[in-house]
Chain A
Amino acid sequence: MTAPHGRALLHLAAALDQQAAYDAASHVELAQLAERGALDFVTLGDSFARPGLDGLGVLSRVAPATGRIGLVPTVTVTHTEPFHVQAAVATLDWVSRGRAGWRIDVSTTEREARLFGRRHASPEPSASLHALWQEAGEVADVAGRLWDSWQDDAEIRDEATGRFIDRDKLHYVDFEGATFSVKGPSIVPRPPQGHPVRVVDATDGPARRIAARYADVALVRVTGPAQARALRDELRHTAAEFGRSPDDLRVLVGLTVDLGDGECAAEPGWRSPLFERSRELGGGGGGSRQSAQGPLYRGGPVDLAELIAAWHGADAADGFHLTPVEPRRDLERLVNGTVALLQHRGLFRTFYPGSTLREHLGLARPANQYAVAGGAS
Chain B
Amino acid sequence: MTVRPRKEIHLAAHFPGVNNTTVWADPRAKSQIEFASFEHLARTAERGLFDFFFLAEGLRLREHKGRIHDLDVVGRPESLTVLSALAAVTERLGLAATVNATFNEPYELARRLASLDHLSGGRAAWNVVTSSDAFTGENFRRGGCLDRADLPHSRLRSSGGTPITRAAEFVATARELWDSWTPEGLPRPFAHRGRHFDIAGEFTVPRSPQGHPVVIQAGDSPPGREFAASAADVVFTRHGTLEEGRAFYADVKGRLATYGRAPEDLKIMPGVTFVLGDTVAEAQERAAEIRRRQISPQNAILTLEQIWGVDLSSYDPDGPLPDIDPDPESTMVQGRVRVGDPLAVAEKWRTLSREKGLSIRQTVIEASGRQSFIGTPDTVAAELDEFVRTDAADGFILVPHLTPGGLDEFVDRVVPLLQERGAFRTEYTGTTLRSHLGLAQPVWKG
Please give the residue numbers on chain A whose beta carbons come within 8 Å of chain B beta carbons, in ascending order. 22-24, 28, 48-54, 56-58, 60-65, 79-84, 87-88, 90-92, 94-97, 111-112, 114-118, 150, 155, 157, 159, 161-167, 170, 179-185, 187-189, 377
Distance in angstroms between the alpha carbons of A132 and B150 in the assembled complex = 18
Extra contacts, 14 of them, besides A48-B107, A95-B38 (Cβ < 8 A), are A23-B118, A60-B85, A63-B85, A81-B103, A95-B85, A115-B107, A116-B199, A117-B200, A164-B71, A164-B73, A170-B68, A180-B141, A182-B140, A187-B59
Interface positions of B from 194 to 237, Cβ below 8 Å from A: 197-202, 204-206
Partner of B35, one of A97, A182, A187, A377: A97
Given contacts A63-B88, A83-B140, A162-B297, are A24 and B118 in contact (CB under 8 A)? yes
User: In the complex, A155 Cα to B30 Cα: how many Å?
Assistant: 12
B81 contacts partner chain A, Cβ-Cβ < 8 Å: yes
A188 near B141: Cβ-Cβ < 8 Å: no
- A179 x B141 contact (CB < 8 A): yes
Contact between A49 and B204, CB atoms less than 8 A apart: yes
- Tell me if A61 and B78 are in contact (CB < 8 A): no
Residues of chain A within 8 A (CB-CB) of B419 are: none
By the criterion CB–CB under 8 Å, are B107 and A54 in contact? no
Binds A, one of B108-116, B243-251, B430-438: B108-116
Decide if A22 touches B24 in the complex (CB within 8 Å).
Answer: no
Partner of B138, one of A52, A179, A183, A189: A183
Kindly state the separation between the CA atoms of A189 and B68 in the bound complex, as whole angstroms. 14
Cα distance A170–B114 in the bound complex, in angstroms: 34
Does residue B58 face the partner (Cβ distance < 8 Å to A)?
Answer: yes
With a cutoff of 8 Å between Cβ atoms, the chain B residues found around residue A183 in the complex are 60, 138-139
11 contacts between A and B (CB under 8 A): A22-B205, A53-B115, A54-B115, A61-B84, A90-B78, A92-B81, A166-B70, A167-B68, A170-B74, A189-B33, A377-B67
> A80 to B206, alpha carbons, bound, how many Å?
22
Closest 4 A/B residue pairs (Cβ): A162-B298, A60-B84, A183-B138, A53-B115
CA distance A306 to B314 in the complex (A): 75
Residue of A57, A83, A155, A187 with most partner-chain B CB within 10 A:
A57
Beta-carbon contact of B75 and A116 below 8 Å: no
The residues of A that contact B262 with a CB separation of less than 8 Å are: none
CB neighbours (8 Å) of A188 from chain B are 33, 75-78
Tell whether B87 is near chain A: CB-to-CB under 8 Å: yes
Q: Assess whether B61 is interfacial by the CB under 8 Å rule.
A: yes
The total number of A-B Cβ pairs within 8 Å is 181
Given A65-B88, A163-B71, A116–B105 Cβ distance below 8 Å? yes
The answer to whether B35 touches A95 (Cβ under 8 A) is yes
Q: Which residues of A contact B59 (CB under 8 A)?
A: 83, 187
Other-chain residue from A52, A62, A163 in contact with B204 (beta carbon distance below 8 A): A52
Contacts of A87 in B (CB 8 A): 77-78
B5 CB → nearest A CB, Å: 36
For the complex, give the distance between the alpha carbons of A188 and B79 in Å.
Answer: 11
Given A95-B35, A117-B197, A118-B152, A48:B119 Cβ within 8 A: no
Does B257 sit within 8 A of A, measured CB to CB? no
B77 near A162 with CB under 8 A, answer no
Name the residue of chain B whose CB is nearest to the CB of A170: B68
A81–B142 CA distance with the chains assembled, in angstroms: 9
Could you tell me if A157 and B139 are in contact, using CB atoms closer than 8 angstroms? Answer: no
Tell me, yes or no, whether B25 is within 8 Å of chain A by CB: yes
Give CA–CA (A60, B58) in the complex, Å: 21
B435 to chain A, nearest CB (A): 19
Closest CB-CB distance, A90 to chain B, in whole Å? Answer: 7
Q: Is B299 an interface residue (CB 8 A)?
A: yes
Residues of B in contact, count (CB < 8 Å):
63
Inside 8 A of B25's CB, which chain A residues have their CB? Answer: 157, 159, 162
Output the nearest chain A residue to B103 by Cβ-Cβ distance.
Answer: A81
Say whether B440 faces chain A, with CB atoms less than 8 Å apart: no
Contact assessment for A163 and B108 in the assembled complex, using a CB-CB cutoff below 8 Å: no
A12 to B112 Cα, complex, angstroms: 29
In the complex, residue of chain B having the shortest beta-carbon distance to the beta carbon of A149: B61
A184: B residues at CB distance < 8 A: 139
When distances are taken between beta carbons in the complex, the residues of chain A under 8 Å from B82 are 60, 91, 94-95
Once the chains bind, are B85 and A61 in contact (CB under 8 Å)?
A: yes
Q: Considering only CB atoms, which chain A residue lies closest to B177 in the complex?
A: A115
B89 proximal to A (CB < 8 A):
yes
Q: Which of A60, A81, A377 contacts B104 (CB 8 A)?
A: A81
In the assembled complex, the Cα of A84 lies from the Cα of B80 at a distance in Å of: 11
CB of B282 within 8 A of chain A? no
Asked if A53 and B298 sit within 8 Å, CB to CB, the answer is no
- Does chain A have a CB within 8 A of B296? yes
B72 lies within 8 A of chain A by Cβ: yes
A48 vs B112: C-alpha distance when bound (angstroms): 11
How distant is B345 from chain A, measured CB to nearest CB, in Å? 23
On whether the beta carbons of B81 and A79 are closer than 8 Å, the reply is: no
**In the complex, what residue of chain A is closest to B204 when comparing beta carbons?**
A51
Please, which residues of chain B bring their CB within 8 A of the CB of A56? 81
Which residues of A have CB within 8 Å of B81?
A: 56-57, 60, 88, 91-92, 95
B77 and A164 form a contact (CB under 8 A):
no
- Residue B329 at the chain A interface, CB threshold 8 Å: no
Tell me the minimal C-beta distance from B297 to chain A in angstroms.
7
In this complex, what residue of A is CB-closest to B142?
A: A81
Using Cβ atoms and an 8 Å threshold, which residues of chain B touch A80?
Answer: 108
Cα A51 to Cα B152 with chains together (Å): 26
Is B323 interfacial (CB-CB < 8 Å)?
A: no
Question: Using a CB-CB cutoff of 8 Å, which residues 278-317 of chain B contact chain A?
Answer: 296-299
A54: which B residues are within 8 A, CB to CB? Answer: 111-112, 115
Q: Which residues of B contact A163 (CB under 8 A)?
A: 70-71, 298
B34 at the interface (CB under 8 A from A): yes
Determine whether the beta carbon of B33 is less than 8 Å from that of A114. no
Whether B71 and A187, one on each chain, are in contact in the complex, defined by CB atoms closer than 8 angstroms, is: no
Q: Given the complex, which residues of B lie within 8 Å of A162, measured CB to CB? A: 25, 71, 296-299
Given known pairs A53-B115, A166-B70, A180-B141, the reply for A114 and B35 (CB within 8 Å) is no
Contacts of B187 in A (CB 8 A): 51
Please give, as numbers and ranges, the residues of chain A lying within 8 Å of B296 by CB-CB distance.
162
Residues of B with C-beta under 8 A to A161: 298
Are A57 and B84 touching (Cβ within 8 A)?
yes
Q: Give the residues in chain B near A28, CB-CB below 8 Å.
A: 88
Question: Whole-angstrom distance from the CB of B29 to the nearest CB of chain A?
Answer: 8
* Residues on the B chain within 8 Å of A23, using CB: 118
Contact of B75 with A155 in the complex, beta carbons under 8 Å: yes
On whether the beta carbons of A94 and B33 are closer than 8 Å, the reply is yes
Q: Which A residues touch B34, using CB under 8 A? A: 94
| CA–CA, A155 and B297, complex, Å | 20
Q: Which residues of B contact A82 (CB under 8 A)?
A: 141
Residues of A within 8 A of B140 (CB): 81, 83, 180, 182
Contact B85 A187 (CB under 8 A): no
* Most B C-beta atoms less than 10 A away, residue of A87, A97, A162, A179: A162
Cα A28 to Cα B85 with chains together (Å): 12
In the complex, residue of chain B having the shortest beta-carbon distance to the beta carbon of A80:
B108
Decide yes or no: A61 and B67 within 8 Å by CB, A24-B118, A56-B81 being known contacts.
Answer: no
Report how far A54 CA is from B330 CA in the complex, Å.
Answer: 42
* A164 and B118 contacting across the interface, CB-CB below 8 Å: no
Q: How far is the CA of A64 from the CA of B199 in the complex (A)?
A: 36
Roughly how many angstroms separate A236 CA and B62 CA in the complex, as a whole number? 42
Write out the residue numbers on chain A whose beta carbons fall within 8 Å of the beta carbon of B84.
57-58, 60-61
Bound Cα distance A144, B377 (Å): 48
Known A-B contacts A64-B89, A184-B139; A91 and B68 likewise in contact (beta carbons under 8 Å)? no
Given A58-B115, A115-B201, answer yes or no on A83-B139 (Cβ-Cβ < 8 Å): yes
